[in-house]
Structure 1
Amino acid sequence: MSLFSFSPTSFNISHPVLFFTILVSTLVILIITRTTSSRSKGVKLPPGPPGWPVVGNLFQFARSGKQFYEYVDDVRSKYGPIFTLRMGSRTMIIISDSALAHDVLIQRGPMFATRPTENSTRTIFSSNTFTVNASAYGPVWRSLRRNMVQNMLSSTRFREFGSLRQSAMDKLVERIRSEANDNNGLVWVLRNARFAAFCILLEMCFGIEMDEEAILNMDQVMKKVLITLNPRLDDYLPILAPFYSKERARALEVRREQVDFIVKFIERRRRAIQNPGTDKTASSFSYLDTLFDLKTEGRKSTPSNEELVSLCSEFLNGGTDTTGTAIEWGIAQLIVNPEVQSRLYDEIKSTVGDREVEEKDVDKMVFLQAVVKEILRKHPPTYFTLTHSVTEQTTVAGYDVPVGINIEFYLPGINEDPKLWSDPKKFKPDRFISGKEEADITGVTGVKMMPFGVGRRICPGLAMATVHVHLMLAKMVQEFEWSAYPPGSEINFAGKLEFTVVMKEPLRAVVKPRV
């Protein structure tokens, strides 16, 4: 997932009074200025709930009092696996069917590989969509993605950072142990998992060592950006933009703060490359190194400092919250399924004995791989892939898909489809060991789950993310036994939408060091 491409998962109407007041006062103007709707042009979109003129289904969503994915789930139960929602100026076709997802993203991948035009605050933070995930399908996207995959995420290059990951795992264990000692065994799961993932990505990105203060400040900068990027009403009704001038000014201020802060580290890395040996903490290679002289197709200039900030921020955010979220849900499931936790510990113990688990051990642990895959099936970091759009008008399931329309994929509809899975609501890692319910998360052989998307716009960091989750979970289980807090209490598996779908009640767990 990317910080810089629209996804509806975090959509929220935060000021309902303002929402209704503005709509009532401007409805007549909007109707007059509204262009002819798609239906009046003879376009046959998938069915969906009828909406108001201009605002579409925004009213129904606002009045439901539900999170967007909950509202989508309700609509899906009535209209089926492909339907249309009109959210102001944005028309969304939402798909939650395995066969349709495979047809669209794999068999006809190039046609559905672009992004809809962005007119929101997000373009401020993506340097006008100059990032891997936000770019339209074309030469700039190809250049940016090829650079990231070939020069940073190839198997050979990724192995070079093995010692960094191992060091981060050791620090994670020490942080958990220290926090537990200070709090009678009680620790925050997500916070510790996020910090470990963030530290790995920071050094991979900038190639310089940062002290804890710098790391925490960088994290705060990123969080402030995420808060600023929460969708606003004017993202869906652009005519209301004048009412949000203060919010836009604030977004520009946050962007300046972000650029000013991160450019200092960019320049530090640049100096380290130009003057080898002057920065004793500098590593031999980083993602930033691949960007300094990058020439994208159709452009003669190399990326500006602001564009470098956008690309580095994408790299950091794409793998931090998604990894942390997966670990939080995973530990929660191990707590409520102690037999799974015990079995996983036994596998680790039988594989590595008394030594520390290492990255090379993961491939030998069949049950660990099944547990991680089941975590990603039951709790994908986001409930929607990043928004897709088409390069030319086409059809899906007999319905028209015009250019510029938003195409969303609702993942729980596929991940918990009883036609694809037995006991889909149950956390059951053994489903992936029996061979009867195997799933290719790349989607090439069929789509049964797609936590990282599939097709042309599949997350380029898929391999990195899965390594981090496997290694982190194995290390945490090897070192500690995890149980509920308060002891004997039930864990609330309700989720809430932030950058990812996190636990509504952040998980605090009691840890007991293994003897």
Structure 2
Amino acid sequence: MDFQPFILPIALLLTITFLLLKKSLPNTQTTQTTKITLPEPPGALPIIGHLHLLGGPAPVARTLGAMADAYGPTFTLQLGAHRALVVSSWQSIKECFTTNDRAFATRPNMATGKYLGYENASFALSPYGPYWRHIRKMATLELLTPRRLDGLAHIRASEIGLFVKHLYYSIANDVPNKAIALSTWVEHLTFNIIIGKLAGKRYPYARDEDKDYRFKEAIKKALHLSGVFVLSDAIPCLEWLDIGGYIKEMKDTSKVIDDVLEDWVRERAENRGGNDDAGDFEGSDFLDAMFSAIPENETVHGYTRSTVIKATMMILIMTGSESTAETLIWALSLLLNSPRVLREAQREMDSTVGRARWAQESDIKDLPYLQSVVKETLRLYPPGPLSGPREAAHDCWVGGAHVPRGTRLVVNLWKMLRDPEVWSGPDEFRPERFVEEQHRDTNFKGQCFEYIPFSSGRRMCPGMGFGMRVVQLALARLVQGFDLSTADGESVDMGEGLGLALPKLKPLEVVLEPRLGKEIDSEEMDDRGGGGGSFVAVRRISQGIDRGSSCHSTSGAEVVAGSAAWLGRGLSCVCAQRRDSDARPSFDLTPAQEECLEKLQNRLDVAYDSSIPEHQEALRALWHAAFPGEELHGLISEQWKEMGWQGKDPSTDFRGGGFISLENLLYFARNFPVLLRKQEGSRALWEYPFAVGGVNITFMLIQMLDLEAGDLLNLFSEDELMKPRTFVGATFLKFLEVAILFYMTENEMAFDLLYCIAFKLMDHLWLAMHASYMDFNVSFHKLMF
């Protein structure tokens, strides 16, 4: 075939095709001369690049912020073997988290993920992909959705209530105007909230040098290590040298954390008995949910169930505890340095919530100034100032500049949130800016790119809703309940430490002065925990006294819930008779009353003996009834102070009441846990210590019945019981007899039931008096007389 006739047309066609392709494709030569070249600071050294410029005492975010002032909001660095893109303006950050969000969604392989994140099984540190999507979705749905957060509100409310109550106790028992280490208290608060949500755990405020304490400290250290620079992250070939010793620290810290988490996983597996559906109910915690979601012998993208659970728990505890605590500490520090803002926050609290009850989560929406204080705190001190490292999964373009695959992305949120073009007076603490029209609708949910303290895009913090609820309610209670000041009247040192969450360099110490005094009111007795039908129970027991022979099958909890007022009225009448006349009561003892006295005598004769196994077991049972799920570390332990004992050895407080006082406490703790933990209604957070109060009630009842230890022998004359010597004793004895008839119970338990009624009455009087911790003796005197 002759191709000569086709040569010219083919050549022409090829020429036209080449010209069209050249026009449609980027011109390599032209691109090289016209593309945007991002600035780069001078001074890069061989091998290490710009690493030496990032050293020093200042946080890296501040150092990079100073570079942005010199070279612009978008520039590059050479960090060892890796190229890094640093962005500091909201425009560039928006481009990274929208147009290029998928390109920058992965994490680089770093020492933190390897040694603290269970070989990148921790979803916050794992690369972008199916595993990350699966575990993040599980964590979000089972723990962090608004519905789940609402369902776990009782844990937040309970822990914050205990936190404030412990502060009141500390103030009452310490030197006046002495500063307390509030940083430590806040860290413990947020730690207990997150482990309560995750695994139903709680650690006491007492600082025992035990496994639990080491675990808490290891979590804090892990967050710090997550923010340090490990040289092998920039120069991988130097990992074996472990320059700085950070890898060894990570391994040691991870071992401490893993030992505790492994115990939790094993304990939960044993309790579930191999039933993978045991956690499928509304009240289950996150650990149950993970057991149910991952079958026992199934791996998740190469990780065992145990590894996935521990890795997920670890990162949630680390970020949910320490980062939240740091935000609250910064907020308090800013308020201490801004008395005007503190006064305005307290004014809003008083006018909106008042002083008759404590602020609740439902009040936060009506406290815009308090919300603005938290927003402004997050602007100045974001929980992740550099947003966590990212890496370009493929080539992309930012600000017209080409970003090759493998480039590290550093997002300087700290610098962006202080941009003077967006925020007037960017370094000033001025919460009013979020009330003013310009920023009134600004939120932190990731779409207002000038304000993204929790980052944005696929890798934004999923726990921001949890953190905000804790910070806002805890701050509301502290602002409402205390006047805050420093010990020396000087400003708080606002120096910043090193770490992932921008911690405060020096721990916060604060002088707290209760500002509510005795003005806060309590709810009505039945609203705070009385059972339904308590009025019927009171009427029945009153009728039983009159008839002396009525028998009904009503539960003890039902009666105690509503009997305190009736009991108080009865005592008032009796005590009035006693004041009007010195005459002794005149009546004959019934056989039932004689039996009651004899049984009580036998119980009162038993002193508490810490060497008797039965007494030891009763003491352990009391702890487990009061704090189910919390391990007791010994019969002599700082933990006992959590229950209200005066020291770490409860046996010293039983000397006055004997073994019966322990039996009374145990009976009450088992049957009336709501009142024991003061979980319902508006409570006075300076309340009486449960244990000491309970022992005093036993002693009070013994006195009222004329059964004081010193008079026991005088009650017997030739094997015959003598009558009580006072109207109060006679009335109590009659109550005791009716309790036996009414409940058809053993007469040994009748005294315990009467004890519970007296406890309920004491609780009611305490709140009605608006009593403080210092009014302990006064309130008991009123209870007796």
TM-score range, shorter chain: 0.7 to 0.9
SS in 2 for 1:497: coil
Report the CA distance between 1:429 and its aligned residue: 1.0
Is the alpha carbon distance of 1:300 and 1:137 closer, same or farther for their aligned partners in structure 2, counting shifts above 3 Å? Answer: closer
SS in 1 for 2:242: helix
User: Which position in structure 2 is the counterpart of 1:500?
Assistant: 501
**CA contact 2:454–2:461 (8 Å) conserved in 1:** yes
Q: Deviations over 1:87-135 (max 9, x none)?
A: 21232211100111112113432232111233x2541221221122112
Report the CA distance between 1:286 and its aligned residue: 1.3
**CA contact 1:45–1:401 (8 Å) conserved in 2:** no
Q: CA separation in 2, counterparts of 1:262 and 1:295?
A: 17
User: Which position in structure 1 is the counterpart of 2:80?
Assistant: 88
Report the CA distance between 1:179 and its aligned residue: 3.4
What amino acid is aligned across from residue 239 of structure 2 in structure 1?
A
Which of 144, 161, 165 does residue 153 from structure 1 map onto?
Answer: 144
Report the CA distance between 1:44 and its aligned residue: 7.2
Q: Deviations over 1:327-354 (max 9, x none)?
A: 1111111112212111211222222221
Question: What TM-score do the two structures reach when normalised by structure 1?
Answer: 0.84
**CA contact 2:392–2:406 (8 Å) conserved in 1:** yes
Unaligned residue ranges in structure 2 (runs of 5+): 1-31, 276-280, 518-785
Unaligned residue ranges in structure 1 (runs of 5+): 1-39, 277-281
**CA contact 1:132–1:145 (8 Å) conserved in 2:** yes
Q: CA separation in 2, counterparts of 1:406 and 1:195?
A: 35
Q: CA separation in 2, counterparts of 1:155 and 1:93?
A: 35
SS in 2 for 1:133: coil
Q: Deviations over 1:54-100 (max 9, x none)?
A: 110123334x6644223212211111101112221232211100111
**CA contact 1:440–1:447 (8 Å) conserved in 2:** no
Q: CA separation in 1, counterparts of 2:57 and 2:361?
A: 44
> Structure 1 residues 176-185 or 333-342, which shifts more?
176-185
**CA contact 1:294–1:302 (8 Å) conserved in 2:** no
User: Which position in structure 1 is the counterpart of 2:70?
Assistant: 78
Q: CA separation in 1, counterparts of 2:233 and 2:335?
A: 40
Is the alpha carbon distance of 1:248 and 1:409 closer, same or farther for their aligned partners in structure 2, counting shifts above 3 Å? Answer: closer
User: Which position in structure 2 is the counterpart of 1:205?
Assistant: 198
Which of 134, 139, 142 does residue 143 from structure 1 map onto?
Answer: 134
Which of 234, 237, 240 does residue 239 from structure 1 map onto?
Answer: 237
Considering only aligned residues, what root-mean-square deviation do their CA atoms show, in Å? 2.8
Q: Deviations over 1:195-247 (max 9, x none)?
A: 11110101111124555556533202323434555433233222222322976
> Structure 1 residues 188-197 or 252-261, which shifts more?
252-261
Is the alpha carbon distance of 1:121 and 1:144 closer, same or farther for their aligned partners in structure 2, counting shifts above 3 Å? Answer: closer
SS in 2 for 1:512: strand
What amino acid is aligned across from residue 369 of structure 1 in structure 2?
Q
User: Which position in structure 2 is the counterpart of 1:216?
Assistant: 213
Which of 108, 111, 119 does residue 103 from structure 2 map onto?
Answer: 111
Matches within 5 A, 1:152-301: 152-181=143-172, 182-185=174-177, 186-211=179-204, 215-226=212-223, 229=226, 230-244=228-242, 248=247, 251-274=250-273, 284-294=283-293, 299=300
SS in 1 for 2:443: coil
State whether structure 2 residue 441 is matched by structure 1 residue 450.
no
Matches within 5 A, 1:318-333: 318-333=319-334
Q: CA separation in 1, counterparts of 2:353 and 2:274?
A: 42
Q: Deviations over 1:371-403 (max 9, x none)?
A: 111111112123210112223200101212122
User: Which position in structure 2 is the counterpart of 1:54?
Assistant: 47
**CA contact 2:87–2:410 (8 Å) conserved in 1:** yes
Q: CA separation in 1, counterparts of 2:113 and 2:233?
A: 10
Matches within 5 A, 1:432-471: 432-438=434-440, 439-444=442-447, 446-471=448-473
Q: Deviations over 1:461-513 (max 9, x none)?
A: 011111111001001111101112312x1222221213421222222111110
**CA contact 1:442–1:458 (8 Å) conserved in 2:** no
Determine which structure has greater relative contact order: mean sequence separation of CA pairs < 8 Å that are 6+ residues apart, divided by chain length: 1
**CA contact 2:115–2:247 (8 Å) conserved in 1:** no
**CA contact 1:291–1:303 (8 Å) conserved in 2:** no
Is the alpha carbon distance of 1:311 and 1:424 closer, same or farther for their aligned partners in structure 2, counting shifts above 3 Å? Answer: same
What amino acid is aligned across from residue 193 of structure 1 in structure 2?
V
> Structure 1 residues 452-461 or 123-132, which shifts more?
123-132
Matches within 5 A, 1:123-138: 123-138=114-129
> Structure 1 residues 109-118 or 238-247, which shifts more?
238-247
What amino acid is aligned across from residue 270 of structure 1 in structure 2?
A
> Structure 1 residues 473-482 or 418-427, which shifts more?
418-427
**CA contact 1:139–1:298 (8 Å) conserved in 2:** no
Report the CA distance between 1:300 and its aligned residue: 6.6
What amino acid is aligned across from residue 87 of structure 1 in structure 2?
L
Q: Deviations over 1:122-167 (max 9, x none)?
A: 4122122112211212111110111111121111111111111111
**CA contact 2:61–2:414 (8 Å) conserved in 1:** no
Is the alpha carbon distance of 1:210 and 1:417 closer, same or farther for their aligned partners in structure 2, counting shifts above 3 Å? Answer: closer
**CA contact 2:376–2:431 (8 Å) conserved in 1:** yes
Q: CA separation in 1, counterparts of 2:116 and 2:363?
A: 39
Report the CA distance between 1:249 and its aligned residue: 5.2
> Structure 1 residues 249-258 or 408-417, which shifts more?
249-258
Q: CA separation in 2, counterparts of 1:347 and 1:149?
A: 34
Is the alpha carbon distance of 1:389 and 1:67 closer, same or farther for their aligned partners in structure 2, counting shifts above 3 Å? Answer: same
Q: CA separation in 2, counterparts of 1:311 and 1:272?
A: 20
**CA contact 2:192–2:201 (8 Å) conserved in 1:** no
Is the alpha carbon distance of 1:340 and 1:223 closer, same or farther for their aligned partners in structure 2, counting shifts above 3 Å? Answer: closer
Q: CA separation in 1, counterparts of 2:274 and 2:335?
A: 49
Matches within 5 A, 1:363-382: 363-382=365-384
Report the CA distance between 1:174 and its aligned residue: 2.2
What amino acid is aligned across from residue 285 of structure 2 in structure 1?
S
Report the CA distance between 1:293 and its aligned residue: 4.4
Q: Deviations over 1:443-475 (max 9, x none)?
A: 32x311221111111101011111111001001
**CA contact 1:58–1:87 (8 Å) conserved in 2:** yes
State whether structure 2 residue 90 is matched by structure 1 residue 98.
yes
User: Which position in structure 1 is the counterpart of 2:431?
Assistant: 429
User: Which position in structure 1 is the counterpart of 2:649?
Assistant: none
Is the alpha carbon distance of 1:183 and 1:89 closer, same or farther for their aligned partners in structure 2, counting shifts above 3 Å? Answer: farther
**CA contact 1:295–1:302 (8 Å) conserved in 2:** no
Number of aligned residue pairs: 467
Question: What TM-score do the two structures reach when normalised by structure 2?
Answer: 0.56
Q: CA separation in 2, counterparts of 1:154 and 1:318?
A: 17
Q: CA separation in 2, counterparts of 1:440 and 1:224?
A: 31
**CA contact 1:295–1:301 (8 Å) conserved in 2:** no
Identity of aligned residues (%): 24
**CA contact 1:102–1:447 (8 Å) conserved in 2:** yes
SS in 2 for 1:85: strand
Q: CA separation in 2, counterparts of 1:115 and 1:335?
A: 38
**CA contact 2:370–2:472 (8 Å) conserved in 1:** yes
**CA contact 1:389–1:404 (8 Å) conserved in 2:** yes
Q: CA separation in 1, counterparts of 2:317 and 2:419?
A: 32
What amino acid is aligned across from residue 237 of structure 1 in structure 2?
I
